[in-house]
Amino acid sequence: MSDAQLFEKSEALNSEDLLRAIFEQMPSVPACLTCSFQAEDMIVLSLLRQRLPNVPVLFLETGYHFADTYRFRDQVTRDWKLNLVNVVQQTTVQQQEATFGILHQIDPAKCCQLRKVEPLMESLEPFDLWFTGLRREQSPTRRNLKKIERHRLPSGKTLLKISLLADWSWAQVWEFTGKHQLAYLPQYDRGYLSIGCEPCTAIPTSGADARSGRWGGKKLECGMHTFSEKTDG
């Protein structure tokens, strides 16, 4: 199967069959997962580890996460013996705030650019397959998400971005989580549906999309999934 055929067939394959097809075609290609330890990421991680037990798990260590998130990350890392890669920034939170002020309050886009986007783009350089837990249902900005997309990083390097759960509903996420007894972040039990940095995460209003509680409703993306250039080449 050529890359073009894989792209074409990917939308009709379920997550496990797609994963199998990818690794049958590209068995030795360097792969990673970007992981915030949300429910979707835990599902993709559980599937990936069946084929790549030592897959690098890239966690964006912004310095602003919930204490619960850090505890959960550390517990899962121990329990699953993860190859965790904490992606850190060139400046600490204290240095950034001393220079720019409280960016997540006055310029959240710049805060995300400095603490998420730029470090992530650099950390993706060694890899050719980038797995994510993105779903189309999560927000309007992800409505046209494909299960496999080719992306170009700012450096010019291209890689395949793979979203195994692109067509999953929230109900499917929780059905899989319960069926396979996967651990999940405790914030979900408090009503959170999309969990990122604590200052920029709120419980969404009833009936609103999952990411409406992020950044006070001022935006829906940090930029890490929109900054790389999607390309057909």
Nearest to 163 by CA among 72, 47, 77, 69: 47
β-pair partners for 57: 33, 84
Alpha-carbon gap, residue 127 to 11, rounded angstroms: 23
CB 227 within 8 A of CB 155: no
Query: Tokens at residue 146, please?
Result: 């494909």
195 in helix, strand or coil?
coil
Nearest to 124, CA basis, from 91, 175, 160: 160
Active site residue 112: no
Pairwise CA distance, residues 85 & 129, whole Å: 16
How many of the other CB atoms lie within 10 Å of CB of 83?
16
Tell me which residue of 139, 169, 177, 211 sits closest to 41, measured CA to CA.
Answer: 177
Q: Which value, to the nearest 10 degrees, does the dihedral of the CA atoms of residues 185, 120, 22, 77 take?
A: -40
- Report residue 162 as tokens: 């793979």
d(CA 179, CA 87): 31
Annotated catalytic residue, options 32, 197, 200, 222 = 222
- List residues with catalytic annotation: 222
